[in-house]
Amino acid sequence: MADQSESFKDKFSNAIGIFSGSRFVRAIMAAGYSVITFSIVGAIFLILTVLPQAFPIPGFAAWYAGTIGRFSNMFQVIYNSTMGILALVFSGTFTYTYTKIYRDEESLNLDPLNGLMLFLMAMFITVPQLVWKNGSIQFVQSLNKLNVIGGGYAVSTSGITRIASVGIFTGLVVGWLTVQIYRLTIKHNWQIKMPDSVPAGVANSFSALIPGFCVAFVVGAINLALIMAGTDIFKVLYIPFSFISNIADTWWGFLVIIFLIHLLWWFGIHGATIMSSFYTPIVLANMAANVHGANHFFAGDPMNAFVIIGGSGATLGMAIWLSFRAKSAQLSSIGKVELVPAIFNINEPILFGLPIVYNVQLAVPFICAPLVSGIVGYFTVTSGIVKKIIVQQPWPTPVGLSGFLATASWQGAVLSIFCAFVAFLVWYPFIRHYDRTLLKKEQAIADAEK
């Protein structure tokens, strides 16, 4: 039975390892990192526009309106220039990285910059809204206050709608298709080759000419067929994205995501990396929607704000307890090493040093503590006690400050601290028992050596 169990662990770990190391997932992770700067810059200027809501102090709103508030429209413009082009940033970085990976691993003459440019062309083929009417393709026009479309481009105060966060999923599919077409054409030598004397920049431009025609033809043909059927690429791809987004935004869908993150971690696999490659487009789209009046909990970075405070397993409170209360020399020393990193949501010393990975005695609190803090966070925000998430705070942001930044409210800071405390209550009986067990072993070893 032990051999069978070990065999299952190995097979499961190998399968997940192959998936996490796949070219697509690696490119997705690079794309996720690329939007951090944009989201932080956008968050700063968004907070400047919502200061009166964040600090409901008597007289502050009037002072704000006469000073900082006079520039709020400019703050909004800067915010739109970050979050309003998120589909291009996220999917563009994905395409660039995806092309680069194929270039390096298949030794193909692919230029990542050409891949990025081809993606932008393909993406903008899907952006305008077109209809088949009176025997021809026509641009959609609408002056409805809730749906302004000019020349096929849906616009709002946030800019062109389809290149914002709602277009991330479409951008990923278009980026994947672009790279595959580009790769296919180069692999079969469908390119214009210039003499060696021609400068590299000019040669690269001509080498992308035939791939460019192929990308434009394929994406344009697919979009044309769908338009004649009464829809388009963007609308078709938005259906599964919207469906998955709605599931992830439910309490049970959110808990399933938390559970899978920690189940994978227990097997020694970086669960947060695996799962975030799936849900990053969703939380970014939901966060942007919250800014414009929607009410999604699963937006921005709810995990590090209210769930896995201190790192996966919500181990901040446990790390503090280990540092000051653990009797076992092993746990006490690990706690002291982990204390500072835990403040910034880094807990690999605990995961592999305690250890938690493959440790049956600590599996229950490791999975259940973040589930409990997740339930508390979800229902506190969705009930309106704490404001919705409108900012994606950097993941190492310490407890309290993370909740404040995420919701731009002091209530968010209190909730963040409370969630960390609740998670520790789950950990306490298990880690206390584990500490006593290790202490007895250490004492037995010490007695045997005397």
Contacts of 19 (CB under 8 A, 6+ apart): 25, 274
The pLDDT score that the predictor gives to residue 253 is 92
Q: Do the Cβ atoms of 86 and 288 come closer than 8 Å?
A: yes
More confident residue, 403 or 157: 403
- Chain centroid, CA 107 distance in Å: 30
Report, in angstroms and rounded to the nearest whole number, the Rg of the chain calculated over CA atoms. 26
Contacts of 370 (CB under 8 A, 6+ apart): 258, 261, 262, 307, 308, 312, 313, 314, 423
Q: Residue range 396-404: average pLDDT?
A: 91
Q: Residue range 200-215: average pLDDT?
A: 76
Residue 359 has pLDDT above 90, yes or no: no
> What is the spatial distance between Cα 378 and Cα 382, in angstroms, rounded to a whole number?
6
Question: Helix, strand, coil % (nearest 5) of the chain?
Answer: 70, 5, 25
**DSSP letters for 46-105:** HHHHSHHHH---TTHHHHHHHTGGGGHHHHHHHHHHHHTTHHHHHHHHHHHHHHHHHHHH
The pLDDT score that the predictor gives to residue 7 is 66
Q: Among 35-39, 119-123, 181-185, 260-264, whose mean pLDDT is lowest? A: 35-39
The SS3 call for residue 415 is helix
Pair type for strands 136-139 and 159-160 = unpaired
